[in-house]
Amino acid sequence: MKLAQLFSIYPQLKWGHQRSADVKFICRDSRLVQAGCVYVAVRGQAHDGHDFLPQVCRSGAVGIVVESESKVPADFPGAVVVVHDSRKALDQLASRYFGNPASSMFCVGVTGTNGKTSLTYLVESILDAYGWATGVMGTVDHHLANHVWESQLTTPDALDLQKRLAEFKSLGAKAVAFEVSSHALSQYRADAIPFDAVVFTNLTRDHLDYHGDIESYFAAKQRLFDEILWKSEKRDLFAIVNGDDSYGRRLIVADKATRWTYGEREADFCFRIKSQGFSGCQYEIRHPRGVTEINSPMIGRHNVYNCTAAFAVGHAAGVSSETCA
């Protein structure tokens, strides 16, 4: 990709002498900068990427993205883009560089304190049964069929996220299920993902060392359902929300998306447990298409919540109730 193509979304920038340069890769780690790199200076908790700009400019970067030009060497020959928030810019540029691979896949984002991992695996099972090869990114690993990659974070940073999506696409993925953490939402790591469906499982007191208080934690989760979902260019959008959770009932959903609730009380996808024991659980789900009886080897009410949410995701994807079950 040419530098001019990558930076075409920024009409106001200083081009320098590298406009026709080939971009070899994008990075935010100054230690990795080599010739042909675009460097994005991010302010982190421990270090500020702007402090390493002199080193970056000597290492062959063809372009840099900064929040302030104050530390950019005057003789830097490459392009300089000044943005309000370099984390947001990194997210946009990573998606552009890797060709926005998520645009051709059915994308499901799952957020909440508990249940994210289980739910992404359940969604994978349903969509695989539908005939869509489905990739999963989360706490345990990243995988698609027999291909497995190690996971460092619940939700990777924007560069690793888009790179993995591109790999999924090259391997034939038709869908992907993500765990979307509150840290990732606060740091704009998933803002460039064109989600088809997003799921809210629940919210309990967690990660307050990072967010400070429960309301800030909730506000981070909220971004997925209004700001990020609203930006998706997909045609049919769905927000699937645990209606039994007090924070789920407070969620504001983008007005162009369909809101579906799930739970044990009054909900669009309402389950009723009939019996359960060591061998499994029998329950029914009442939903917009009717009533579906399910026999699951998974026991526990929390698993029925997750299965019901996955059932709703399947409906959002156009999967039959029989296949979802």
Q: Looking at residue 306, what DSSP letter applies?
A: H
Q: pLDDT grade, residue 207 (50/70/90)?
A: low
pLDDT at 211: 64
Q: Residue 54 — very low, low, confident or very high, per pLDDT cuts 50/70/90?
A: very high
**Residue 159 CB partners (closer than 8 Å, separation 6+):** 26, 27, 28, 90, 94
- Averaged pLDDT, 104-120: 97
pLDDT tens digits for 70-102?
999 999 999 999 999 999 999 999 999 999 999
- Is 66 a residue whose pLDDT tops 80? yes
* H or E element in which residue 49 lies: none
Q: Residue 272 is encoded by which pair of tokens?
A: 């009723």
Judge residue 120's burial from the number of C-beta atoms within 10 Å of its C-beta, 0-12 exposed, 13-18 middle, 19 or more buried: buried
Tell me: pLDDT of 52 over 90: yes
| Gap between the Cα atoms of 36 and 60, Å rounded | 6
Fold of 3-97: 3.40.1390
Query: Domain segments of the chain: what residues?
Result: 3-97, 101-324
Confidence label for 208 from pLDDT (cuts 50, 70 and 90): low
d(Cα 208, Cα 265) in Å, to the nearest integer? 29
Give the pLDDT of residue 124.
Answer: 99
pLDDT over threshold 80, residue 113: yes
CATH architecture under which domain 101-324 falls: 3-Layer(aba) Sandwich (3.40)
CA 205 to chain centre: 22
This prediction's pTM: 0.94
Per-residue pLDDT, 205: 73
**Which residues partner with 258 through β-bridges?**
238
Q: Which band of pLDDT confidence, cut at 50, 70 and 90, is reported for residue 293?
A: very high
Give me the mean pLDDT over the 277-284 stretch: 95
The residue-averaged pLDDT of 212-227 equals 93
DSSP 118: H
Provide the mean pLDDT of the chain: 95
Query: Phi first, then psi: what are they for 82, rounded to 5°?
Result: -105, 125
